[in-house]
Structure 1
Amino acid sequence: MIKNFLASLGFGAAQVDLVLDRENLTMGEPVTGKIVLKGGEVKQVMEGLRVHFCLASAYPSGGQRVDVNEVVAKITVFEEDVVIKPEELREYPFEFVCPRHLPVSSVNTRFFFQTDLEIKSGVDAEDRDIVDVYASGLQGHFLDGFARLGFKHHNEAYTGKEKDGFQIIHFRPTSWLSGEIETLGIKYQPAAVDHWISGTYELKGKEGRFHFSAEELATLEHAAETLRQFFQRKL
């Protein structure tokens, strides 16, 4: 009886652990792993097992920091009652395709899987796994083009879907343009990336717009040269 009471409070209760095959995600590609359930000291009834793929970021507004928390995707493993015996081990395969057109992991933007095990008449068990998300396709060529030119993320923000989903990245040069500029800023909407990428930039106190076609960003090499020529003209 005492064990049952303690388990209802979360002591000696069942545990859940999401084990991923890799912690680096590429947009549009599958992520695999397994979910391990371990029974506690007493028999318990599980009412559901779900995994939420989440984003946490922030952006400045009016001199204050505004936090952004979004659930990108929900994965249901089971939602019927399942009995797990004391010390019993159960494994469930996990597979998930990372969505495209997300902001990338950066200074302020983080992604994680939140695994929630609902326990009947007890405290739910949970597990959190932080992952890095990288862009692919045109978005990947565009952002990696800056890295190819020697730019590194200095500051970054994501406004969230309620504010049109802009990712704002400020780069610092480490090779090309080093000594000529302190930072280069861009602002674009990942969700709007299709056959082109457009947005605004800030360079040497000047602001303007950019628009790059799929042809200009067809490869990483093309993207880097396109960016080099474009910003060279704006100096």
Structure 2
Amino acid sequence: MFKKLLASVGIGAAKVDTILETEHLHPGQKFQAQIVVLGGDVEQEISGLELALMTKVKVEGENGEYYASQVIEKWRVGSQFTIAPGEKKVIPFEARLHSETPITEINAPYNHSYVWLETGLDIDLALDPSDKDLLHIYPNEAVKNCLLAMEKLGFRMVKADVERGYLKASNFQSVSGCYQEIEYRPASTSLFGLQEVELSFVPEAHRTHVLIELDRAFRGDGYVDLTIEHDHVNLSQLCDQLERLFA
């Protein structure tokens, strides 16, 4: 009985570990994993498993800015089962990353973009033991070429972070509840009259939308946008498109 009580508050309880086939992924990419559940000191009823795709978001609060963890997407895995003391169960799992998963692998001096998978056991009357697996998220070809175009136009990346909220333009809007901002500043003084440019990407299956915030010295902030078709990614054309938008 004493061991059962301890297990009910998470002491000597079952543990979970998610083993990913690879931690290096792109937004919208399928991934495979094995969820390993190891029994504790006593037999336990497991109500189910949950996997959550998580990120850290910047939130505007009454007392200023702060960072909080946010769920991008959540998956329920399997149904109720019993695990015996010391028993090992391996559950295969496959899913697709949300297309709006923030990019972590970018060359920003101040990169506050983090993405991870969190796995938890839903155990009745128990604390929720969890396992966290950090992910390395790379840009798709459209985003990669857009970032290269910014460099070619004389801008340097200075910061990247993820904010809570939604993006909306005339022909697209985000759905994940958070969005990434990648901040650029001109390498030379007053390039196109711009002090700062912030890019946010909303990828879809066959195209990537880009919302661009422009901060000009004498005209304040403004927004422009463009859409990059995945089968027509061209660095030179992107440079021309951005140059026209900035002019």
Which TM bucket (shorter chain)? 0.7 to 0.9
Q: Which residue of 1 aligns with 2:233?
A: 219
Deviates most, 28-37 or 6-15: 6-15
Offset, 1:9:
2.4
CA–CA separation in structure 1 for the residues paired with 2:232 and 2:49: 41
Offset, 1:87:
0.9
Q: Which residue of 2 aligns with 1:100?
A: 99
CA–CA separation in structure 2 for the residues paired with 1:205 and 1:104: 32
Of 119, 129, 133, the match for 1:129 = 133
Residues 17-63 of structure 1 deviation map (CA, whole Å, 9 limit, x = unaligned) = 11112222201211111111001111111111111112221156788
Residue type of the partner of 2:210?
I
CA–CA separation in structure 2 for the residues paired with 1:34 and 1:198: 37
Q: Which residue of 1 aligns with 2:86?
A: 87
Q: Any stretches of 5+ residues in structure 2 without a counterpart? A: 169-177
CA–CA separation in structure 1 for the residues paired with 2:71 and 2:15: 23
Offset, 1:149:
6.8
Q: How does 1:48-197 map to 2 (within 5 A)?
A: 48-58=48-58, 64-67=64-67, 69-80=69-80, 82-105=81-104, 107-136=111-140, 138-146=142-150, 153-161=157-165, 165-171=178-184, 178-180=187-189, 184-188=196-200, 190=202, 194=207, 196-197=209-210
* Aligned partner of residue 22 in structure 2, secondary structure: coil
Deviates most, 17-26 or 64-73: 64-73
CA–CA separation in structure 2 for the residues paired with 1:26 and 1:115: 20
- Root-mean-square deviation over aligned CA pairs: 3.6
Change (3 A) 1:149 1:224: farther
- Provide TM-score, normalisation by structure 2: 0.72
CA–CA separation in structure 2 for the residues paired with 1:31 and 1:57: 23
CA–CA separation in structure 2 for the residues paired with 1:8 and 1:62: 38
- Provide TM-score, normalisation by structure 1: 0.76
Q: Which residue of 1 aligns with 2:40?
A: 40
Deviates most, 69-78 or 33-42: 69-78
Percentage identity across aligned positions?
21
Residue type of the partner of 2:28?
G
Change (3 A) 1:45 1:142: same
Residue type of the partner of 2:4?
N
